[in-house]
Amino acid sequence: MPWIRYLLYFITIAFITWALTQMEIASPGSLKMHILLSASDRYGTSEFSPVEIIQAIILAACGVIMWWVARYCPTQRPIAIPLAGMALAFLIRELDFFLDRFIADNLWQVLIVMIGSLLIVYTYRARKRLQIALARIWPSPGLTLLFAGAVILFAFVRLVGHEPLWMSILGDDYKRIVKLAVEEFIELVGYFLWMVGIIEYAFQARAIAMAEPQPAAQRLRKKRRHDAEGKF
């Protein structure tokens, strides 16, 4: 039942947030929001933070779920593939520090440009099927939550996490770790919304796929498999 799922979403998000906050309170600095990699490092990084690791896990899970939708819910494939591509692009962006440091400098930018170009071409070529897929699933609670997460990730966090804003608010007491902590926790909220939206969209896509009549070729294929299994 849907209300049980939403209760589980609330409990899961509340527990993860509680665990992160208690970790930092019990052991200050354990969230690793500002790690200096060398004596000459002025900016530091939060890439080793558990918050960023959770963000990467969420994005990987979103990509896997959308791959499942694209594979098993054909009528929603024009939506699922771009969403899976976006999750992959976000994941690469979250891993930019490690890609630059351990593989090649600016590799993440090249990968995102390649993925973005493929998504644009696919979306343009599948634009009619995309309109049909949206018409079949709209209104969609899952896509609404995805939109809310996108607003937080692309607009809200970019403005509220802007360093000059915190330099103005804190003045002489400004510390970069404050800006990083606020930015990363807001991003985590956006990714939580994305995760919930992806799951709800997958449930809705599955319901549509089960309600739609199967093509004749698919029915015959299933019948042949059933007959073959019945011989043994």
Residue at 215 is within a domain: no
Number of domains composing the chain: 1
Residue at 102 is within a domain: yes
Residue at 6 is within a domain: no
What pLDDT, in 10s, does the model give residues 27-65? Answer: 888 888 777 766 666 666 777 788 989 999 999 999 999
What pLDDT, in 10s, does the model give residues 168-179? Answer: 988 888 888 888
Which residues constitute the domain of residue 205? 55-210
Listed in sequence order, the residues at least 6 apart from 68 whose beta carbon sits closer than 8 Å to its beta carbon are: 202
Residue at 45 is within a domain: no
Give this prediction's pTM. Answer: 0.82
Q: Where are the alpha helices (DSSP H) in 73-175?
A: 77-94, 96-102, 107-125, 127-137, 141-151, 157-160, 163-170
Q: Could you say which residues of the chain have pLDDT below 50?
A: 216-217, 232
CA end-to-end distance (rounded Å), the chain: 38
Listed in sequence order, the residues at least 6 apart from 209 whose beta carbon sits closer than 8 Å to its beta carbon are: 72, 73, 74, 75, 76
Q: How far apart are CA 120 and CA 84, in angstroms?
A: 13
Residue 217 confidence (pLDDT): 47
Residue at 17 is within a domain: no
Residue at 171 is within a domain: yes
Residue at 48 is within a domain: no
Residue 8 confidence (pLDDT): 93
Q: How far apart are CA 95 and CA 56, in angstroms?
A: 8
